[in-house]
Amino acid sequence: MQLVVDVGNTETVIGLASGKRELAGHWRISSSVSRTIDEMTVLVRAFLSNNALGDSEITRGVVGSVVPTANRVWTKTLRRIVTGEVLVIDPQSDLPIELDVEEPMSVGADRIVNTLAARELYHRDTIVVDLGTATTFDCITTEGVFKGGAISPGLLTGIDWLASRTAKLPRVELAPPPAVIGRRTETCIQSGIFYQAIDSIDGMVQRLREEWDRPDAYVVATGGFSNIIGPHLARIDRIEPFLTLFGLAMAGEYLEG
């Protein structure tokens, strides 16, 4: 068993990986809440106890983080829980992928392991759309070469901006509206935010396919909002909410000392 941790700017996703594509459990916690190593250890052990697993069954910890200040707490927490090594994924990790971009050292751990997972799982040119705090688009070749992509504001950005910058517009839930034409302020906002996101993501995928000259590139949606947005996207071939956790598990096996 591996304990894999995907530390994002808004949420941290913890997974108990029993294989390259199998999770015995998964949990989400807020990344914005500051916790000590003791508090984090108690929290993670509470999650694991619900799965009737003891620490002795977890032999490795793997952390992929886009929040550098969280790395110390997570590495020390995992060292208290797992019986073996704790790995932190970064651009220098010895993985069977290539970062073919101008500044490879700036590529986030999430995009690195998404590249690895796409290479291992799909065996074809792939565009990974990661729907999290930001929406990222990653162009990945069959051989596992990360060619770059795009980063845009996340799906909650518009909701948060409207609620904070306007006097009378309420904050609404990100959910499919009952109709495109809203008849109340709340449904108007829901429709505008939701369908603007749908059309912009589909449009970006089409632009990436054309510029990359891969009209048949396989498109995978992942991340926290993939199950909400993914079914409504015309150019998505597969929804894989835990692609990043699978990639962390694969990285742990490749880097096994």
Residue 165's contacts (CB-CB under 8 Å, 6 or more residues apart) are: none
Q: How far apart are CA 28 and CA 257, in angstroms?
A: 29
The domain limits of the chain are 2-88, 98-156+185-242
Superfamily of domain 2-88: ATPase, nucleotide binding domain (3.30.420.40)
The vertex-130 CA angle with 189 and 201, nearest 5°, equals 50
Interval 33-56: pLDDT, tens: 889 999 999 999 999 987 666 555
CATH code given to domain 98-156+185-242 = 3.30.420.40
**Cα dihedral 166→172→177→181 (10° resolution):** -20
Choose between 10 and 250: higher pLDDT: 250
Same fold, 2-88 and 98-156+185-242: yes
Would you please indicate which residues are annotated as catalytic (active-site) residues? 110
- Tell me the residue ranges of DSSP E strands in 57-121: 60-65, 86-88, 98-99
CA gap 72, 19 in Å, rounded: 26
What pTM was estimated for this model as a whole? 0.92
Task: Encode pLDDT of 75-133 as tens digits.
Answer: 999 999 999 999 999 999 999 999 999 999 999 999 999 999 999 999 999 999 999 88
